[in-house]
Amino acid sequence: MASTQVETVSTTADKAKLGLAVALVLVSLAGFYLLGKQGQLVQWGALIAGLVAAAVIFLTSEPGKQFVAFGRDSWREVKKVVWPSRKETLQMTAYVFGFVVVMALFLWLTDKTLEWVFYDLILGWKR
């Protein structure tokens, strides 16, 4: 049986940072709607400032640092991918379309054959 590890927020400081980040998101959303009479510039400024502050606080926590490390590792892996050339892409697309056509013909032929066997031969329901 495979064991799975569950990573949790370990320190109280990280829990507090995550709670503060969530609270800042909620306060910035509330501020966006409550500052409607102040004008759009104030509304959007409060929202963006709150979201940026929440992102900064999140990124200073351990889960935030792990998230950034995951993003860097993912980007490094994406750089290693060997993408197919245009010719290879067109060939594979043609193979897929060809297979779809052949499968469609096969399924249509199977459907008509079974229709003929059941309705004409077995049941005698000629059209």
Residue with tokens 């993408």: 83
Return the HEC string of the chain.
CCCCCCCCCCCHHHHHHHHHHHHHHHHHHHHHHHCHHHCHHHHHHHHHHHHHHHHHHHHHCHHHHHHHHHHHHHHHHHHHCCCCCHHHHHHHHHHHHHHHHHHHHHHHHHHHHHHHHHHHHHCCCCC
At 6, the pLDDT band (50, 70, 90 cuts) reads low
**Mean pLDDT of the chain, nearest integer:** 90
- Rounded to an integer, the average pLDDT of 36-53 is 93
pLDDT number for residue 126: 67
Report domain extents, the chain. 9-81, 84-127
Cβ 50 vs Cβ 24: under 8 Å:
yes
Q: Flag whether pLDDT at 4 surpasses 70.
A: no
Please state the pTM of the whole predicted model.
0.57
pLDDT in tens, 76-115: 999 999 999 999 999 999 999 999 999 999 999 999 999 9
The CA distances from residue 77 to 18, 50, 59, in Å, are 28, 33, 22
